Amino acid sequence: MTQSLISPSSPEYLDRLNPEQREAIETTEGPLLILAGAGTGKTRVLTTRFAHILLEGRARPYQILAVTFTNKAAREMRERVGALLGETADGLWLGTFHALCARMLRRHAEYVGLTTGFTILDTDDQIRLVRQIMEPFRLDTKRWPPQALLGVFQRWKDRGLTPGQVTPAEDTDFAGGHARKLYAAYQDRLKAVNACDFGDLMLHTLEILRTQPDVLAQYHRLFRYILVDEYQDTNTIQYLWLRLLAKRDHGPSNIACVGDDDQSIYSWRGAEIENILRFEKDFPGAKVVRLERNYRSTAQILAAASGLIAHNSDRLGKTLRPGREDAQGEKVQIISVWDSDEEARITAGAIERLRAEGHPLSQIAILMRAGFQTRPFEERFLTLGLPYRVVGGLRFYERAEIRDAMAYMRVLAQPADDLAFERIINVPKRGVGAAGLQKLHHEARLLNAPLSVGVAHALETGMVKGKGREALGGLMEAFQRARETRESEGHVVASEQLLEDSGYLQMWRDDKTPEAPGRLDNIKELLRAIGDFASLEGFLEHVALVTETEDKASADTVSLMTLHGAKGLEFDTVFLPGWEEGVFPSQRSLDEGGLKSLEEERRLAYVGITRARKRAVILHAARRRIYANWQDSMPSRFIDEIPADTVEHSGQAMQERRQLAAQSSIFASGPLTSTRGGYGRPAPRVTDVVADASHGIAIGARVFHQKFGYGTVLAVESDRLHINFEKAGEKRIMAHFVEQVS
DNA sequence: GCTTTTTGGGTTTTT
DNA sequence: CCCAAAAAGC
């Protein structure tokens, strides 16, 4: 990439772009949809477009609204735009939907009953709050878990619905039809404590833009151009927000959205693929530019991925073409293995061989459907001493000790932050339990003051006695001293002092569990990070909006991550394990969302394959351990959907499996003879088996199992039997593992 | 109020 | 199987 400042008259930054990319950049006026397939230079187009608008003098930096989904994408765009312009651009409206909304909301908070210093709650706070509002309703928290209720609220918020806008018909049967009332109560409570949850950042901002024409007009004047990344992942409220800002009474909407309908994988989080599918209707006269030249992957990989995604029906239609003229590349390997342990063994072995050939480990990734699938790989890598890292596992700011420490900071910055105060009032133990807390809450409510004031009052009036009195007094003093220190020596010193004086650090020093030292390190890291910010408020805002910490220097390690986590990344070699029916596509997905979900799973598979630059290896196991017992599994339908001429099969397991299957009655009726490329088409699909339930074993039948002996069938779930064994107790067994006896 | 036992549930999770 | 959260016990 060119680093030097480019003069507008000779735009050499446009030189090495293909015609479609140029069109996407040079069409600055009017609505534009850029359909950018995987690896077609999307980020480059977006950032160059941003710079192009500035360099042509069409707008000042702050007049462009640029929206991304992740902080990472925002950071990257900021850096690359800065590089193109040869300067660091400040004051940009460039960020995630939530960060941009937070910025707007702080300016106009009073319109929705908040003050500019409102706190942004984390998920722990939200759950605690939901639990509080549920209490008077006396609901069974087993049947209606607070998390689930919060999920209902969130889905409403994703659709831009305030409590008043949720129609009675919308009110699900959740919580006995009380969900709407609970939602209203939750929102009231948030306002009462001057707080916002994540969804509120958007909901409140949308509300302000909807109801305050002058505010909206102000932003209309400000933003001349709007750029949106990952448009296929926008949900309804984000769409409404964008449309409000883009549509104006006079003049065209200079909104450019970049996205790929084939990479929409977040519908379960409220993303509406419809948003991208109907863009041209929403913005009449919109121009559509397709970026189809892929510069990332080999022709074989592209053909495999394209063939797979062609099985989806709801598509805008795009064909990835190889942008590079070099080698055709290797075929996509499909390896059949016996079980999940062999899968890990073979993968690790292949990686060791690649490593010996000089392949950097940092260019290898193992991408799976679900987080727990990393386990066998980790075990194998540990025994081999192969360096790896699990990406996106437990995140820094979600660790308990970090949230605790953050709560201390929040109270320091904002004594009225009751939820934060509540979190740490008894951490470390200060003898305040549920009952004591109740009393203190009551006291605060009588004074119509925050909880911390209630505590101070309770201490003065002698309400609290004994040990608790001493401990709580110490806590209040620690906060008092920290506030003084903050005045005199700044927020960094004050923060550390607070954690020390409150006894929080000592609590972990006294903790003898093996995790304690690591936790102390994390807290140290947190204190270090505070120093990067000019104020405590700035730090808190950052943490509230950013969940991950910046990637540390990328060591030479294999990356293990979920397919979702891999979106936007690329590697030379990609391993895709667990391509089995029920695992991928995930059974639960299929059960809940039917065909739509299947298509989303297929897009996920497409995302997985297109991460690979040179080599993609798909694996599937004949049986997999699920919780306690082994379960047989069939190859994923996606394997069959990849064009046969782009793949290469190997592995013994399927052959053995076929022999085994031939012996057992359940598979006997299946077409086991047809072969394709030396690879036997496996036994019929699980769904086929379900359809005919050919084992013919009924409830109450007496059966014999090689290992567990004799038992009685309690329940039949298609091909799985729930059996009460005389010696071994109750087990779930695949029907073909037992034989019926009389 | 705190610790232990039981039970129940178990995808994906950019913000 | 393995973890988290609720219920029971001290």
Q: Is the pLDDT of residue A231 over 90?
A: yes
Q: Which nucleotides on chain B have any atom < 7 A from a protein Cβ?
A: 1-3, 8-15
The reported pLDDT for the residue numbered A726 is: 65
Residue A96 CA to B15 C1' — how many Å? 8
The reported pLDDT for the residue numbered A528 is: 93
Catalytic residue among A96, A234, A263, A363: A263
Residue A628 CA to B10 C1' — how many Å? 12
Distance, CA of A635 to CA of A642 (rounded, Å)? 13
Q: Which of residues 509-548 of A touch strand B (CB under 7 A)?
A: 545-548
Q: Which of residues 52-91 of A touch strand B (CB under 7 A)?
A: 69-72
Return the amino acid letter for A539. F
Residues near strand C (C-beta below 7 A) are A 141-142, 145-146, 627-628
Q: Are A324 and A295 in contact (CB under 8 A)?
A: yes
Active site residue A263: yes
Distance, CA of A605 to CA of A368 (rounded, Å)? 10
pLDDT, mean of residues A240-255: 91
Summarised one tens digit per residue, pLDDT across range A189-199 is 999 999 999 99
Q: Is the pLDDT of residue A562 over 90?
A: yes
Distance, CA of A425 to CA of A440 (rounded, Å)? 11
Prior bond of A415 cis (ω within 30°): no
Instruction: Give the end-to-end CA distance of chain A in Å, rounded to a whole number.
Output: 77
Distance, CA of A319 to CA of A526 (rounded, Å)? 46
Return the amino acid letter for A164. G
Active site residue A42: yes
Least confident of A486-490, A607-611, A663-667: A663-667
- Prediction pTM value: 0.84
The reported pLDDT for the residue numbered A677 is: 29
Active site residue A496: no
Task: Give the per-residue SS3 of A469-535.
Answer: HHHHHHHHHHHHHHHHHHHHHCHHHHHHHHHHHCCHHHHHHHCCCCCHHHHHHHHHHHHHHHCCCCC
Distance, CA of A70 to CA of A75 (rounded, Å)? 9
Active site residue A43: yes
Summarised one tens digit per residue, pLDDT across range A27-64 is 999 999 999 999 999 999 999 999 999 989 999 999 99
pLDDT, mean of residues A561-565: 93
The reported pLDDT for the residue numbered A654 is: 61
Active site residue A70: no
Catalytic residue among A42, A369, A624, A658: A42
Q: Is the pLDDT of residue A174 over 80?
A: no
**A607 CB-to-strand B distance under 7 Å:** no
pLDDT, mean of residues A422-441: 90
Prior bond of A682 cis (ω within 30°): no
Distance, CA of A332 to CA of A645 (rounded, Å)? 9
Residue A327 CA to C5 C1' — how many Å? 55
The reported pLDDT for the residue numbered A676 is: 29
Task: List, as own/partner pairs, every contact residues A482-487 make where C-beta atoms lie below 8 angstroms and the sequence separation is at least 24, other chains included.
Answer: A482/A412, A483/A412, A486/A412, A486/A536
Return the amino acid letter for A729. G
Least confident of A110-124, A311-325, A649-663: A649-663
Is A378 strand, coil or helix?
helix
Distance, CA of A258 to CA of A511 (rounded, Å)? 50
CB-CB neighbours of A602 under 10 Å = 21
Greater pLDDT, A325 or A6:
A325
Distance, CA of A7 to CA of A14 (rounded, Å)? 12
Summarised one tens digit per residue, pLDDT across range A519-540 is 899 999 999 999 999 999 999 9
pLDDT, mean of residues A418-430: 92
Residue A128 CA to B3 C1' — how many Å? 22
- Model confidence at A297, pLDDT cuts 50, 70, 90, reads very high
**What phi and psi values does residue A82 have, to the nearest 5 degrees?**
-60, -40
Summarised one tens digit per residue, pLDDT across range A685-728 is 332 233 234 567 777 777 776 666 677 777 666 666 767 666 65
Q: Is the pLDDT of residue A329 over 80?
A: yes
Q: Are A417 and A382 in contact (CB under 8 A)?
A: no
Catalytic residue among A423, A611, A623, A637: A611
Q: What is the 8-class DSSP label of residue A552?
A: P
Mean pLDDT, chain A, as a whole number? 86
Share of chain A above pLDDT 70, in %: 88
Residue nearest to nucleotide C6 (CA to C1'): A142
Q: What is the 8-class DSSP label of residue A684?
A: P
CB under 8 Å to A728, separation ≥6 — which residues? A707, A708, A709, A711
Summarised one tens digit per residue, pLDDT across range A402-411 is 999 999 999 9
**What phi and psi values does residue A377 have, to the nearest 5 degrees?**
-70, -45
The reported pLDDT for the residue numbered A732 is: 63
The reported pLDDT for the residue numbered A10 is: 52
**A421 CB-to-strand B distance under 7 Å:** no
pLDDT, mean of residues A215-232: 95
Does the annotation flag A151 for ligand binding? no
Q: Are A75 and A301 in contact (CB under 8 A)?
A: no
Active site residue A260: no
